[in-house]
């Protein structure tokens, strides 16, 4: 296999989002990230528009998950992890000293690669957990939020009689929808999804994909996926990352039908990955 260097393909990102984008819900500006000495992200910039689905694709190890985790300050939870740059939420830098990550994470929800419902909590408590932390909602109004959240992820009918059962007692696809319900119960503004279907079967995957498209009516969604078909089915914008850099970003149709960068083209056509 010929290496990229031999083909003289530039991997320099097109840094077009240096300016503050007033239309963006979230915007990453020149984000660098490290694990210890190893640099994972190199000056990545990207903006996420409200009511859209943005997909991040790229071969494994390209830094797409790390990038996603910078959006709700989960990256810094890993020991030795470091991040430099800005990420704006409604124009305000979430890495500002005065801002607490705890509050950011309530506004920017996250769904993980493997469904991770809380095993010690019931289905009901899984959805209610975030709200119980602040104690703002109790009793009836809490019940309503739980019901509405479960309905939104089309799980209500399947579990309404089993709300007391542990969150881990349902199938993998249901668990993942439960995790989405857990995130939207807090009424966040943005939902981050880190390869949410990679552990699921095709039918469960189809349900989640349908859900993702519905979610964008209310939220801005950023989804990391290694599945290009999935990106083209659900997203409005697509970003292609390679070796920690953002290679190309644009409308999904353009990226998949008419990529500007040869590297993107090679990845899309399956020449490497």
Partner 1 sequence: MINSYGFRKLKNRLFFVLCAVCVVIAVVPLASILFEVAIRGAPQLSITFLTANASKGGIGHAIQGTLIIVGLTSIIGIPIGILSGVYLSEFGNNRYTQSLRTINNMLTQFPSIIVGITAYALIFNILGSSKWAFSTLTGAVALSFIMIPIITRTTEESLKLVPNTLREASLALGAHKWRTTLSVVLPTTKTGLITGILLAVARVAGETAPLIMTIQGSRYFFRGLNGRIAALPLEIWTNSLQPYPEAQAQGWGAALILIIIVLTLNIAVRLASRRE
Partner 2 sequence: MRFTGDKVFKVLVAVIAASALAILIITGYTLSVGSMPVLQKFGLNFFFGQQWSPAAGREIFGLLPYILGTLATSGIALLIGVPLSLGIAIFLVEMAPRSLRVPISYLVELLAAVPSVIYGLWGLFVFRGFMVTYIETPISKYLGWIPIFSGEPGGLDIFTAGAILAIMIIPTVASISKEVISSVPNSIREGAYSIGATKWEVIKRWVISYGRSGIFGAVILGLGRAVGETMAVTMLIGNATSFSAMPTSLFNPGQTLSSLIASGILDASSPFAYSAYIGAGLALLFMSLIINVGAHFVMTRVFKVKGGAIE
Q: For binding to partner 1 (CB under 8 A), which residues are involved?
A: 100, 102-103, 133-136
Whole-number Å distance between alpha carbons of 155 and 160: 8
Report residue 2: phi and psi, to 5°.
-75, 140
> In the bound complex, what is the minimum distance in angstroms from residue 135's beta carbon to partner 1?
4
Q: Please provide the distance, in angstroms rounded to a whole number, between the alpha carbons at the two ends of the chain.
A: 12
What part of residues 202-261 is at the interface with partner 2 (CB under 8 A)?
A: none
> With binding defined as CB under 8 A, does residue 106 bind partner 2?
yes
Residue partners of 30: CB distance under 8 A and separation at least 6:
15, 18, 43, 44, 45, 84, 85, 86
CA angle 4-6-8, nearest 5°?
Answer: 75
Q: Which does 136 bind (CB under 5 to 8 A by kind): partner 2, partner 1, none?
A: partner 1
> With binding defined as CB under 8 A, does residue 133 bind partner 2?
yes
Q: Which does 119 bind (CB under 5 to 8 A by kind): partner 1, partner 2, none?
A: partner 2
Whole-number Å distance between alpha carbons of 250 and 256: 10
> With binding defined as CB under 8 A, does residue 105 bind partner 2?
yes
> In the bound complex, what is the minimum distance in angstroms from residue 98's beta carbon to partner 1?
13
Contacting residue, 74, 83, 150, 234, with partner 2 by CB under 8 A:
74
Rounded to 10°, the helix 123-134/139-152 angle is 120
> With binding defined as CB under 8 A, does residue 37 bind partner 2?
no
Q: Which does 186 bind (CB under 5 to 8 A by kind): partner 2, partner 1, none?
A: partner 2
Distance from the Cα of residue 208 to its chain's centroid = 13
What part of residues 5-24 is at the interface with partner 2 (CB under 8 A)?
A: none
Q: Residue 98 corresponds to which tokens in the numbers above? A: 């005065």
What part of residues 166-185 is at the interface with partner 2 (CB under 8 A)?
A: 179, 182-183
> In the bound complex, what is the minimum distance in angstroms from residue 134's beta carbon to partner 1?
5
Q: Which helix (H) or strand (E) segment is 207 a member of?
A: helix 202-215
> In the bound complex, what is the minimum distance in angstroms from residue 37's beta carbon to partner 2?
15
Q: Output the CA torsion sign for 22, 23, 29, 33.
A: positive
CA angle 31-222-134, nearest 5°?
Answer: 95
Q: Residue 165 corresponds to which tokens in the numbers above? A: 């059962």
Q: Which does 1 bind (CB under 5 to 8 A by kind): partner 1, partner 2, none?
A: none
> In the bound complex, what is the minimum distance in angstroms from residue 197's beta carbon to partner 1?
34
Q: Which does 114 bind (CB under 5 to 8 A by kind): partner 1, partner 2, none?
A: partner 2
Q: Which residues bind partner 2 (CB under 8 A)?
A: 72, 74, 77, 79-80, 102-106, 109-110, 112, 114, 116-120, 129-130, 133, 179, 182-183, 186
């Amino acid at each position: 296999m010929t290496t990229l260097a031999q083909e003289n393909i530039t991997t320099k990102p097109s840094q077009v989002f240096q300016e503050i984008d007033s239309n963006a819900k979230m915007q990453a500006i020149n984000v660098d990230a490290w694990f210890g000495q190893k640099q994972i992200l190199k000056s990545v910039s990207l903006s996420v528009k409200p009511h859209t689905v943005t997909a991040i694709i790229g071969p494994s190890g390209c830094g797409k998950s790390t990038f996603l985790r910078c959006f709700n300050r989960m990256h810094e939870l890993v020991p030795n992890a470091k991040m430099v740059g800005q990420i704006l939420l409604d124009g305000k830098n979430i890495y500002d000293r005065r801002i607490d990550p705890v509050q950011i994470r309530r506004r920017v929800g996250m769904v993980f690669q493997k469904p991770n419902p809380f095993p010690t909590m019931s289905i009901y408590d899984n959805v209610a957990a975030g709200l119980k932390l602040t104690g703002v909602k109790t009793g009836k109004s809490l019940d309503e939020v739980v019901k509405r959240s479960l309905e939104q992820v089309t799980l209500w009918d399947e579990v309404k009689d089993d709300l007391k059962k542990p969150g881990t007692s349902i199938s993998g696809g249901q668990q993942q929808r439960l995790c989405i319900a857990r995130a939207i119960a807090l009424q966040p503004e943005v939902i981050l999804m880190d390869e949410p279907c990679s552990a699921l079967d095709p039918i469960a995957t189809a349900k989640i994909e349908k859900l993702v498209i519905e979610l964008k009516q209310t939220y801005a969604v950023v989804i990391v996926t290694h599945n290009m078909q999935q990106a083209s089915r659900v997203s409005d914008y697509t970003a292609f990352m390679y070796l920690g850099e953002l290679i190309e970003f644009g409308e999904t149709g353009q990226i998949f039908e008419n990529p500007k960068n040869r590297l993107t083209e090679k990845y899309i056509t399956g020449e490497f990955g």
